[in-house]
Amino acid sequence: MALMALPLLMWNASLFGQDDDPCAPALDAKTLKLIERGTDKKKYDAEKRQAYLEAALEENEEAIEAAFELGLLWFNRARRNGDSWSEALSYLNAAQAQCPEYDGEIPYCLGYIAYAEGRFSDALEAFERLLDWETRTGQSLSTKAQRKVRDVEAVLPELQFLMQFNAHADSAPPQVLAEVATRDQEYLPALSADGTLLFFTRAGERKAKGDLVSKPFELFMWSRRTTPSIPFDGGEAMEDPFNRTTGYGGASISVDNRELFLAIKSPSPDNAENIDLFTARYELLEDTGNEVIYLWSEPAPLTSLNTPDGWESQPAISPDGQWLYFAAVRPGTTEDAQGQPTIDILASPRTDNGWGTPKPLPQPVNTAFNDKAPFLHPDGHTLYFASNRIPGGGGYDIWMSRLDTSASPIEAGAWSAPINLGIPLNTEGDEHGLITATDGRTAYFASRRPGTQGLDILTWTLPEPVRAKASVVVRGQLDVSEDLSGEPIDLELRYAQSRKAQAIQVADDGAFAAIVDLETEEDVLLVARADGAAFSAGIVVDADEDDPALVDTRLTVRSVSEANAAFEIQDIHYTSGSAVIGRSSLLLLDLFAEYLSDTGLSVEIGGHTDDIGSEADNLRLSESRARAVRDYLILQGVPASGISAKGYGESRPRADNNTAEGRARNRRTEFRVTD
């Protein structure tokens, strides 16, 4: 960016010698005479004035006026000739160090130099010292100086932007996502919340067998992996019913990976390039007991959101599934300076009848420029989007804004002032379609820059200030016994320390998925409840462990009335070889105590071990552990008369003790209803 042309502010300082005053030191006659000659522009040229002023400093190094005037002389010379600022900085910094309130021209010049050198935070600090000069010093500025102050005020917005744009300049640069990069164009990435699916568009030209010339193609792709800790595969075209036609404008998938939103080219009689929003579901086709088969449904248009004479594209579903964001140009979107509609980001609420009337996000997200490619992070309030607003780095840049979660996304004042993510992410070209993993750190976006083969998908580690809140997906299967199949099941996440509860929707086939907020640094438990059901819960996030990248779990809900049934209390762990219950296990026992109090059941606590060690030692250990659980439950208010404890040692294995997995399953704590 070109350096602004800031005129130099000029003040005349009247100095009076005062003993022990660094701003007006007592100087001898010779030094004063040298300064007088050094400031006489009518009689002496710049070189002679420089020599007189340097001589004055040699006579008395506290001759601040000489240092100040030399700083101005070198400043003007460097600005005029494009020379180094080093001499000017040396004298001006010395003068400011001796007397911070000597003259308002010093912070102006220092700010100008800092701006020229790209030290934008230093420039802002210096200019702010100038702007509050009268308040701090009690010294008035001349009319001419006031005009220069207004010049500084006018450049502050650009300076603040440059600080923002360069705030992460030292970050490691983005890298091409090599797994899916080809000589074709890859763009519009969409990442599933669990990090296992990456959707994108691939376009280029190919010559089929028998063709004389290459023909353009565009495919809707997906790349898969089983866990976020391994690379994606190379990707393949989505199977039918997708890719019947060309023209895809981005996609987004729900937290449970079952509901896909995408933009597909839909020519209309009056608009051959029309793009509309569609949705498809990943539906259970067959469950043989040995194999479960799912297929994507036919994409259905979101008719309440689409317009025949507009452009609706780049959908983004909120993590709770209640808002659909998308980019659109159509009647009602923000007009530019010439009165033409621009691309806006819109949001539509989910209703009992589908999707409600979409409305543009308020300023400062939407502007009279083009604002598009929204992505709402799984934390539910961090929005990344692309915009060509000014000031900017050039082309489309990636910006970030945060939603006040107590407000509706279409409500005025709901969004914070957008932040430009700056270099090395943004360049003079176009960057768009940024998405991030649930960890808040890992970003994916499309860009064309040195090192790419064209338009490629790149990945970048977001700097701390522009990260979303770290989250993780908990996904799994809820298995319900046949005698409870007609009962409604309540599934929820419980944050142990804050007691916050988060309801989870369960699919018809028992699958579920939910987002856990890791920023709370709490233990999080998964609890299933139903009338007549046995206690069923497990720990999904342990605050003492490293943050997981993905949590896979399974809960079984059984009828408590099963004859002589034993029900495992999952995730009860003890210190090795002892009956000391682990910290996180106590949280599960808190929930179990709550369950017993609610149901009034009387139970026997049973302790079980593997076969490592002697049979007698294992029996004693299991008895001690069962008693430890009983004692803790009594401390939580469960009547002692309703709880007994018994150790079974290694006598009732549930799995093969010859494997580590089997031994782990055999080390368990169970309860059995006794009345």
Query: Which amino acid, 421?
Result: L
Residues 56, 61, 65: CA angle, nearest 5 degrees: 60
Q: Under 8 Å CB-to-CB from 462, ≥6 apart: which residues?
A: 421, 436, 440, 441, 442, 443
Phi-psi region of 277 (alpha: psi -120 to 50; beta: other; left: phi over 0): beta
Give the model's confidence band at 294: pLDDT under 50 very low, under 70 low, under 90 confident, else very high: confident
d(CA 145, CA 134): 12
Q: Could you give the percent of the chain with pLDDT greater than 90?
A: 81
pLDDT value at residue 5: 43
Pairing relationship of beta strands 215-224 and 236-237 according to DSSP bridges: antiparallel
Tens-place pLDDT, residues 180-220: 999 999 999 999 999 999 999 999 998 777 777 888 899 99
pLDDT value at residue 563: 76
pLDDT value at residue 104: 87
pLDDT value at residue 19: 53
pLDDT at 288 over 70: no
d(CA 177, CA 451): 11
Tens-place pLDDT, residues 634-658: 999 999 999 999 999 999 998 999 9
pLDDT at 317 over 90: yes
pLDDT value at residue 278: 97
| Distance set, CA 424 to CA 269, 441, 460, 546 (Å) | 44, 15, 9, 29
The residue ranges of DSSP E strands in 496-623, in sequence order, are 501-504, 511-517, 524-529, 536-541, 551-557, 567-568, 603-608
Q: Could you give the percent of the chain with pLDDT greater than 70?
A: 96
pLDDT value at residue 2: 41
Packing angle between helix 29-38 and helix 46-59, nearest 10 degrees? Answer: 160
Tens-place pLDDT, residues 378-422: 999 999 999 999 999 999 999 999 999 889 999 999 999 999 999
Average pLDDT of the chain to the nearest whole number = 91
More confident residue, 574 or 370: 370
Query: How far is residue 638 CA from its own chain's centroid?
Result: 44
| Complete edge-to-edge strand list for the sheet that includes strand 490-495 | 501-504, 490-495, 524-529, 536-541
Q: Which domains does the chain have, with CATH numbers?
A: 29-165 (1.25.40.10), 187-204+217-227+234-466 (2.115.10.20), 470-561 (2.60.130.10), 566-675 (3.30.1330.60)
d(CA 430, CA 396): 4
Tens-place pLDDT, residues 326-368: 999 998 899 999 999 999 999 999 999 999 999 999 999 999 9
Tens-place pLDDT, residues 99-120: 998 988 899 999 999 999 999 9
pLDDT value at residue 12: 38
pLDDT value at residue 289: 65
pLDDT value at residue 7: 40
Q: Using the 8-state DSSP alphabet, how is residue 482 labeled? A: G
pLDDT value at residue 575: 78
The SS3 call for residue 319 is coil
Closest CA to 261 of 352, 155, 347: 347
pLDDT value at residue 261: 98
Alpha helices by DSSP H, 508-667? 583-599, 615-635, 660-666
Tens-place pLDDT, residues 489-517: 999 999 999 999 999 999 988 999 999 99
Q: Under 8 Å CB-to-CB from 431, ≥6 apart: which residues?
A: 386, 395, 396, 397, 398, 425, 445, 446, 447
Window from 80-94, 284-298, 378-392, 562-576 with minimum mean pLDDT: 284-298
pLDDT at 16 over 50: no
Phi, psi of 672 (to 5 degrees): -135, 130
| Distance set, CA 618 to CA 331, 548, 611, 656, 672 (Å) | 76, 33, 7, 17, 20
pLDDT at 270 over 90: no
Average pLDDT estimate for 594-605:
95
Number of H helices, E strands in the chain: 11, 33
d(CA 592, CA 588): 6
For tokens 């599933």, name the residue. Answer: 192
d(CA 585, CA 583): 5
